[in-house]
Amino acid sequence: MADITITHTRAEGTLINGSEPGDGILETLNPWGFRYARTVGFIYLRGSRDRAADMRRIRGAQAVLEADGHTVTLSIDETVRRSFQAAETERYQRAGERAVRLDERADRLQESSDTKWTEGRRIAASYQGEPVKVDHHSASKHLRELGRARKLFGQSVEEQREADRCRGLADAAATFEEGRKHVRTTLRRLDRLRADKAQLERQMEATVQAAVQEADTEQAVETLVGDLARLDADHLDLCEQIAEWAGHIEQAEADGAKVWRPDDFTPGDYVGLGGRWYLVLRVNSRSLTVPKSVDWRARVYNRANQLGKKTSTLPYDKVTGRMSCDEMATQLEGETATA
């Protein structure tokens, strides 16, 4: 039996120390999400880096290891972390490496698929549609060759599908950084992060209040310290992410990107969404109130085709343009004259 230490820091994630290859520990921990990293030679919990310790899985892993007779020690430190910028840079690097790796795999599969398809075509063409002569001595060879051609065709199709899948994943990895830094995507992410931060601050306040009521026991104090350490680390992570992404938006605006805000609109303006225009009924802090239309194919949604008094909201991160009421009237008159 082995002496196992399960360690967790936000900088390194959840790691298993004390295991040796072939001792069965990896197979025991697989159901709990643990994997083996060949490049560095240790067992780790997948997706645990830059996050709070997943105590459900860690406790589960501890229980199954102790049930097998191993001695297990836990070492959890939520204060050891790396900067968000360092983590983000590594994500971009890994995405670039993944794109190269998947492209190379797609190329190999494409070449193999083309070769097998060509060989299958050659075999099929060599018989020129000639039927199998059942009573002739060539029948067995003919059947074997046709079977081989069918097998090659099938393998070629499967490899082509896998090549297309790898190519799509490679394209996604290649555009990972661009998509993650897209202005509208970043605005939506900022809204979500700020909401998470507000919720976390409420949770921190509730944790302190609950602990004050039960502060007469040593166990309650230890629990409070552990909970607050985790919550404080979460809060620091969120504050850093918000600051980084807000800075990215500021830089994007300085470079010429348009970020739509309530100050850009007044009731009576028209807001663009793709190829459609909506009359602005009300300007809110996080969205615009626009009419619902009786004609979903209409290009302009306004009072003339509004569905009763029904309205919907359009978030600022989805806005693609703005027109004043006069500009829209001029455009509609021009279209009517042309028609």
Most confident listed range (11-15, 208-212, 222-226):
11-15
**Position 276 confidence tier, pLDDT thresholds 50, 70, 90:** very high
pTM: 0.80
Residue 218 has pLDDT above 70, yes or no: no
Mean pLDDT of 256-271: 95
How far, in Å, are 184, 322, 329, 334 from residue 275 at the CA level? 17, 12, 17, 17
How far, in Å, are 40, 44, 278, 327 from residue 77 at the CA level? 22, 16, 52, 60
* Arithmetic mean of pLDDT over the chain: 90
pLDDT of 221 reads 67
Most confident listed range (17-26, 106-115, 145-154, 321-330):
106-115
CB 295 within 8 A of CB 307: no
pLDDT of 214 reads 66
Give the H or E element holding residue 337: helix 325-338
pLDDT of 300 reads 92
pLDDT of 126 reads 82
The class level of CATH for 263-338 reads mainly beta
Q: What is the pLDDT of residues 24-69, one digit of tens each?
A: 899 999 999 999 987 767 899 999 999 999 999 999 999 999 999 9
pLDDT of 337 reads 67
pLDDT above 70 covers what percent of the chain?
Answer: 96
pLDDT of 119 reads 95
pLDDT of 13 reads 93
pLDDT of 334 reads 78
Nearest-CA neighbor of 227 among 244, 210, 242?
210
Q: What is the pLDDT of residues 131-167, one digit of tens each?
A: 767 777 778 888 888 889 999 999 999 999 999 999 9
**Position 215 confidence tier, pLDDT thresholds 50, 70, 90:** low
Residues pairing with 288 in the sheet: 283, 314
Residue 177 has pLDDT above 90, yes or no: yes
Give the H or E element holding residue 306: strand 306-315
The class level of CATH for 3-77 reads alpha beta
How far, in Å, are 81, 119, 120, 139, 162 from residue 148 at the CA level? 57, 10, 8, 14, 21
Mean pLDDT of 258-282: 94
Mean pLDDT of 176-199: 95
Nearest-CA neighbor of 1 among 26, 18, 21, 14?
18
**Position 324 confidence tier, pLDDT thresholds 50, 70, 90:** very high
SS3 assignment, position 46: coil
Dihedral of alpha carbons 95, 98, 102, 103, sign: positive
Burial profile 126-139: b = 16 or more Cβ within 10 angstroms, e = fewer = eeeeeeeeeeeeee
